[in-house]
Amino acid sequence: MDFNLNEDQIAFRDAARAFAEKSMAPHAARWDKEHTFPVDVLREAGEMGFMGMYTPESLGGMGLSRLDTSVIVEELAAACPSTAAYITIHNMVSWMVASFASDDLRQDVVPRLASGEWLGSYCLTEPGAGSDAASLRTRAVRDGDSYVLNGSKMFISGAGGTDILVVMARTGEADSGARGISTFVVPAGADGISYGKNEEKMGWHSQPTRLVTFEDVRIPAANRVGEEGEGFAIAMKALDGGRLNIATCSLGGAQSALLRARNYLHERQQFGKPLATFQALQFKLADMATNLVAARQMVRLGAFKLDSGDPEATLHCAMAKRFATDTCFEVVNEALQLHGGYGYIQEYPVERLLRDLRVHQILEGTNEIMRLIVARRVLEDGVAEAIQ
Ligand SMILES: Cc1cc2nc3c(=O)[nH]c(=O)nc-3n(C[C@H](O)[C@H](O)[C@H](O)COP(=O)(O)OP(=O)(O)OC[C@H]3O[C@@H](n4cnc5c(N)ncnc54)[C@H](O)[C@@H]3O)c2cc1C
């Protein structure tokens, strides 16, 4: 077991940090305030390879492991968790098409996604189907060489600013559950697609979130990703990695908040001395650092399990997502507390980090659903080995 980053990972980390400090950090507060989707910076990220990190090199990606990806994403998230999170959703979309689409479709779509020329959205949630995603009702009906889509998707990240929608829709009977769902690549400007307003959110202001409605949207049958009925399994496989990505965005935000709190304790004086001299506050920093490291190790273990095709990868990704997003939110909240009243003021970035990290406990499967996945496995046989 080697817990150190290797030479390549250190190089990825340094390159990502340099990019994040130059192209993201100086603008993050403005993107947050003005609700700007920074498409130009996303294209720059594409030039760096960050829009196709775990997409195969043969399709224009970097072909990295999930562990390598996590090292990069953490650096991007330290600058702007919201923008980094969109980048990870885009990476998930790119990976789905690269892994499961026909050769023609993947050759057509993936290089443009991996370069950042096209941006992607992942469309699973519906107004009536959130945690119970397998109950989704958007329909795709086969008509000759086409499918015709009807229905709507809720809370779609990037929607209105993206070029490709990867849509999970029902091709089976209404009561066919998870087995009746298929996945499709849908051009975002296809006739019959309409977009709702950009939702006014607590955080994640640097990416739009919209309702997407499909009314008799006709797409070529060749745009189906995988076989009919495989769509839900594909969506869930993508989410194993997606959950690690979101957990990693929490790590980056928490690391940034911790360092800012440390600096602040050195600078700020009360009762005639720096706050850093008060042991009660030192102990807070100690717990924050300890909890952050524990969260990071869980994310890296989950990434290792996914990279090595471990049969317990889903369990470890769920545990890592639950633990890291809860723990890192608390780290940021403590960092805000350590800033006193200034922590609550927008001039200091900690309140933005807090607002951005809050949603990580909700999306890509809520943390209650993560507990459900973990509890289900713990109740089965063989759990002792599974969690070792
Ligand atoms: C900013 C934002 C961006 C998003 N981006 C995307 C996107 O790009 N693509 C996409 O497809 N979706 C996206 N989502 C949707 C997100 O994944 C869902 O909001 C999430 O899965 C929860 O679904 P829901 O909101 O319908 O809540 P519900 O499922 O209605 O849950 C409500 C509450 O009940 C709890 N709960 C539900 N069922 C159970 C159970 N069985 N046991 C215990 N507790 C339970 C939940 O944990 C939650 O606390 C986004 C959401 C947000 C807020």
pLDDT of residue 388: 87
What the block records as the tokens of 119 is 């941006």
Q: Which residues contact 332 (CB under 8 A, 6 or more apart)?
A: 253, 254, 257, 350, 353, 354, 357
Q: Is pLDDT at 110 greater than 90 in this prediction?
A: yes
Q: How does the average pLDDT of the chain come out, rounded?
A: 98
What is the Cα–Cα distance from 118 to 334, expressed in whole angstroms? 39
Chosen CATH of 7-114 out of 1.10.10.10, 3.40.190.10, 3.40.50.720, 1.10.540.10: 1.10.540.10
> Which strand (E) or helix (H) includes residue 120?
strand 120-123
How does pLDDT run across 314-348, given as a tens digit for each residue?
Answer: 999 999 999 999 999 999 999 999 999 999 999 99
Overall average pLDDT of the 160-184 stretch: 98
For the stretch 249-272, what's the b/e string if a residue is b when 16 or more beta carbons lie within 10 angstroms of its beta carbon? bbbbbbbbbbebbbebbeeeeeee
pLDDT of residue 320: 98
Instruction: Specify the residue with its C-alpha closest to ligand 1, atom 29.
Output: 131
Overall average pLDDT of the 69-88 stretch: 98
Q: Which residues contact 258 (CB under 8 A, 6 or more apart)?
A: 285, 288, 289, 292, 331, 335
Catalytic site residue from 199, 364, 368, 385? 364
Known catalytic residue at 364 = yes
In the chain, which residue ranges form alpha helices assigned H by DSSP?
A: 7-19, 28-34, 39-48, 66-79, 81-100, 103-114, 231-267, 279-307, 313-338, 350-358, 367-378, 383-386
Q: How far is the CA of 365 from the centre of ligand 1 (A)?
A: 6
pLDDT of residue 296: 98
How does pLDDT run across 179-218, given as a tens digit for each residue?
Answer: 999 999 999 999 999 999 999 999 999 999 999 999 999 9
How does pLDDT run across 209-253, given as a tens digit for each residue?
Answer: 999 999 999 999 999 999 999 999 999 999 999 999 999 999 999
pLDDT of residue 205: 98
pLDDT of residue 294: 98
pLDDT of residue 327: 98
pLDDT of residue 1: 77
What is the Cα–Cα distance from 379 to 34, expressed in whole angstroms? 47
pLDDT of residue 87: 98
pLDDT above 90: percentage of residues in the chain:
99
120-229: CATH topology: Butyryl-CoA Dehydrogenase, subunit A; domain 2 (2.40.110)
pLDDT of residue 210: 98
Structural domain boundaries in the chain? 7-114, 120-229, 232-386
367 CA: nearest ligand 1 atom? 47
Output the CATH code of domain 232-386. Answer: 1.20.140.10
131 CA: nearest ligand 1 atom? 29
pLDDT of residue 2: 86
Cβ of 198 less than 6 Å from ligand 1: no
Cβ of 86 less than 6 Å from ligand 1: no
Cβ of 363 less than 6 Å from ligand 1: yes
Q: Which residues contact 320 (CB under 8 A, 6 or more apart)?
A: 243, 244, 247, 295, 298, 299, 301, 302
